């Protein structure tokens, strides 16, 4: 029976992967397996992956659609009417997938999940790119976010001075505690981590220095 089961699972690897549990960790440090805590802006520089949503969060938060609902609960939404400004960036999370394009890009929605992001596109505001750590070598499920506060459209969506740290802290402050959207209520705990990203501006796009802090959010769906 056991050998039959084994043969069955070996013959249907996708069935097997459906029942493989996540790794039960917050995240895996990308730099330990050829990855980086900076994404790749395509010019040899990158944006800091300055917020991580823990792989120990409720599984329904750790999917693209689940994350988008959570993002709406904390003041972000999909880009203005699907209009996308700027090219995608990529990241290597050290999970065995190598370098992959961002999964989605979201903008601050100014209190209106439908058209608010259009306002952000015009007047600037907070902005994030999402990368999911789900490759075959370190399938933690953790979500890595590159968060930054942007100038308005006339400034061509460059980052405001200190915009990485400001963006991270604004997102975390909006996320902490109890939030809800679309009938889902979330409880979020935040802790700051150092030592993943170096402080300073080495390799950082737009030459904007950071304090080197990455904030870890653990998000639990409470109802
Ligand atoms: C990443 O995005 C770029 C620009 O849209 C595209 O040319 C490239 O094929 C994408 N790469 C992957 C692996 O999807
Ligand atoms: C990463 O790898 C996993 C498992 O092989 C795959 O399901 C997923 O689509 C990959 N992610 C990307 C962005 O290619
Ligand atoms: C993380 O550090 C930033 C910058 O010092 C601070 O503003 C924020 O409150 C800290 N967050 C937590 C959860 O400690």
Does the beta carbon of 101 lie inside 6 Å of ligand 1?
yes
Does the beta carbon of 104 lie inside 6 Å of ligand 3?
no
SS3 92: strand
In a domain, 27, yes or no: yes
The values of phi and psi at residue 11, to 5°, are -75, -20
Looking at residue 77, its pLDDT comes to 77
In a domain, 1, yes or no: no
Tokens of 161: 């001075």
Nearest CA to ligand 2 atom 1: 135
Nearest CA to ligand 2 atom 13: 100
* Ligand found nearest the CA of 88: 1
Nearest to 127 by CA among 161, 172, 77, 177: 77
- In this prediction, residues 39-62 reach a mean pLDDT of 96
Task: Mention every residue, 6+ apart, whose C-beta is less than 8 A from residue 44.
Answer: none
In a domain, 89, yes or no: yes
Atom of ligand 3 nearest to the CA of 173: 9
In a domain, 105, yes or no: yes
Does the beta carbon of 191 lie inside 6 Å of ligand 3?
yes
In a domain, 180, yes or no: yes
In a domain, 18, yes or no: no
**pLDDT tens digit sequence for 170-193:** 999 999 999 999 999 999 999 999
**Separation of CA 167 from chain center:** 13
Confidence label for 122 from pLDDT (cuts 50, 70 and 90)? low
Rg (CA), the chain: 18
DSSP 131-179: EE---SS-----EEEEEEEE--GGGTTPBPTTHHHHHHHHHHHHHSEEE
In percent, the amount of the chain with pLDDT more than 90 equals: 65
Does the beta carbon of 169 lie inside 6 Å of ligand 3?
yes
Question: How buried is 207 (Cβ within 10 angstroms: 0-12 exposed, 13-18 middle, 19+ buried)?
Answer: exposed
Spatial distance between the Cα atoms of 169 and 192, rounded to a whole number of angstroms: 10
The values of phi and psi at residue 30, to 5°, are -55, -30
Q: Is the pLDDT of residue 109 over 90?
A: no
In percent, the amount of the chain with pLDDT more than 70 equals: 78
Measured in Å, residue 86 CA sits from the centre of ligand 1 at 13
In a domain, 6, yes or no: no
Nearest CA to ligand 3 atom 9: 169
Task: Mention every residue, 6+ apart, whose C-beta is less than 8 A from residue 130.
Answer: 64, 67, 102, 103, 104, 105, 106, 143, 144, 145
**pLDDT tens digit sequence for 53-91:** 999 999 999 999 999 999 999 988 776 655 555 678 999
In a domain, 91, yes or no: yes
Q: Which helix (H) or strand (E) holds 214?
A: strand 214-221
* Ligand found nearest the CA of 103: 2
Measured in Å, residue 73 CA sits from the centre of ligand 3 at 20
Domain residue limits at 116: 23-221
Does the beta carbon of 88 lie inside 6 Å of ligand 1?
yes
* Count: domains in the chain: 1
* Ligand found nearest the CA of 214: 3
Sheet architecture: strand order including 104-108: 76-78, 104-108, 125-132, 143-150, 51-53, 214-221, 184-193, 177-181
């Amino acid at each position: 029976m056991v050998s039959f089961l084994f043969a069955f699972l070996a013959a249907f690897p996708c069935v097997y992967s459906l029942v493989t549990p996540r790794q039960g960790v917050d995240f895996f440090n990308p730099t330990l397996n050829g990855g980086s805590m900076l994404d790749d802006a395509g010019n040899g520089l990158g944006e800091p992956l300055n917020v991580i949503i823990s792989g120990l969060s409720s599984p329904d938060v750790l999917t693209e659609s689940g994350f988008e609902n959570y993002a709406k609960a904390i003041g972000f939404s999909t880009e203005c009417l699907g209009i996308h400004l700027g090219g995608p960036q990529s990241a290597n999370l050290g999970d065995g997938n190598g370098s992959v394009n961002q999964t989605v890009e979201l903008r601050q929605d100014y209190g209106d999940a439908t058209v608010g992001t259009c306002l952000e596109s015009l007047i600037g505001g907070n902005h994030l790119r999402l990368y999911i750590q789900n490759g075959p070598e370190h399938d933690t499920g953790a979500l890595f976010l590159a968060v930054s506060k942007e100038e308005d459209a006339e400034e061509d969506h460059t980052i405001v001075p200190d915009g990485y740290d400001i963006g991270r802290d604004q997102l975390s402050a909006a996320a902490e505690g109890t939030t809800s959207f679309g009938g889902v209520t979330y409880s979020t705990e935040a802790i700051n981590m150092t030592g993943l990203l170096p402080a300073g501006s080495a390799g950082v796009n737009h030459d904007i220095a950071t304090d080197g802090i990455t904030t870890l959010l653990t998000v639990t769906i409470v109802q």
